[in-house]
Amino acid sequence: MRYLFGECKLDSNRRELFVLNKEVNLSPRLFHMLNYLLLHHGRVVSKNELMDHVWFGSVVASNTVDSCISKLRKFLNDDGQSIRTVHGHGFIFDGEVTIKESNIRQEIDLKNKRPFVFVSYSHTDSSVADKIVENLQQLDIKSFLDRKDIAWGESIGKTVRKAIETCTHQIIILSPASIKSEWVHFEAGFAMGIGRIPLPFLTHPSQDVPKYFQDTLFVTTSEELMNYFAKWLIRIDTKDGSKKEINEYLKEFETTPNE
């Protein structure tokens, strides 16, 4: 969805904000807050509601919300007329907003395209991410992992967006740490917004899953993950030799004891 307001343009799918035709690099948290206010423009949004949807239920101080609102106003060159404080109640985006459908959704021919996997994770789970990439390599599946694929000096936001636009699948490592990561939610929202296939990997099967993943297929072990992609490759590969190799690998993987 694209929101046009004043001299600004926000694209919720591409996670881009332009002010006076210049791109503004908001943090994922600030972007999500602005997007939420625009989505509900014309009505008051309480601080508690912002905490639930921007901090995903984490406990934060009231003045943290105020500070983020102040930063947004500064980025937007807003003097409080667009994002208006309603004392004792919350905030309202009170400026004129034009909404247009985003035109950046990129359909991928999944029937004929080999998977390219974007791995989304908290750096606390780096060892889990490394193991997933290693397993994908055994199936000759390419992946994107930020700390190995973002070159020094490159724009993190632009490189991440380009990789997600290119990928077919996104593995989201869901752990107690990643649930609190604004970057993980940013990447997941962008990928799902442009139609990429999400595959949540739960490190703790009993943990609560964000609402937008509750109806999504998820995996909890490396075996389940590899079964998923091996079967995907079998389905898209028309060469009997390749099918045989993948079937043999899948059989071997299923009989290998867990490390």
Spatial distance between the Cα atoms of 212 and 189, rounded to a whole number of angstroms: 9
DSSP state at residue 124: G
At 255 the three-state DSSP class reads: helix
Q: Quick check: 75 and 23 in contact, CB under 8 A?
A: no
Does 151 have pLDDT greater than 50?
Answer: yes
The pLDDT of 166-194, averaged and rounded, is 86
What percent of the chain has pLDDT above 70? 84
Rounded-to-integer distance, Cα 201 and Cα 78, Å: 40
DSSP 217-257: --B-SHHHHHHHHHHHHHHH---HHHHHHHHHHHHHHHHSP
Q: Which residues contact 134 (CB under 8 A, 6 or more apart)?
A: none
Residue 214 confidence class, pLDDT cut points 50, 70, 90? low
Domain ranges of the chain: 2-100, 116-255
Parallel, antiparallel or unpaired: strands 2-5 and 98-100: antiparallel
Q: For domain 2-100, which CATH number applies: 1.10.10.10, 1.10.3720.10, 3.40.50.10680, 2.40.30.200?
A: 1.10.10.10
Give how far Cα 36 sits from Cα of 11, 144, 217, 244, Å.
Answer: 12, 28, 26, 49
Looking at residue 259, its pLDDT comes to 43
Q: List, for residues 28-65, the tens digit of each pLDDT value.
A: 888 889 988 998 899 999 988 888 777 766 677 888 99
Owner of token pair 């943090």: 27
Query: Which carries the bigger pLDDT value, residue 176 or residue 236?
Result: 176
Residue type, 81: Q
Mapped onto helix, strand or coil, the DSSP state of residue 86 is strand
- Cα 73 to Cα 20, 81, 89, distances in angstroms: 14, 9, 18
Q: Could you count the other beta carbons within 10 Å of the beta carbon of residue 222?
A: 18
State yes or no: pLDDT of 242 exceeds 60: no
* pLDDT beyond 90 at 119: yes
Q: Higher-confidence residue: 36 or 216? A: 36
Q: Averaged over 213-227, what is the pLDDT?
A: 85
Q: Which CA distances in Å does 39 have to 3, 10, 98, 198?
A: 9, 11, 11, 23
- What is 116-255's CATH topology? Rossmann fold (3.40.50)
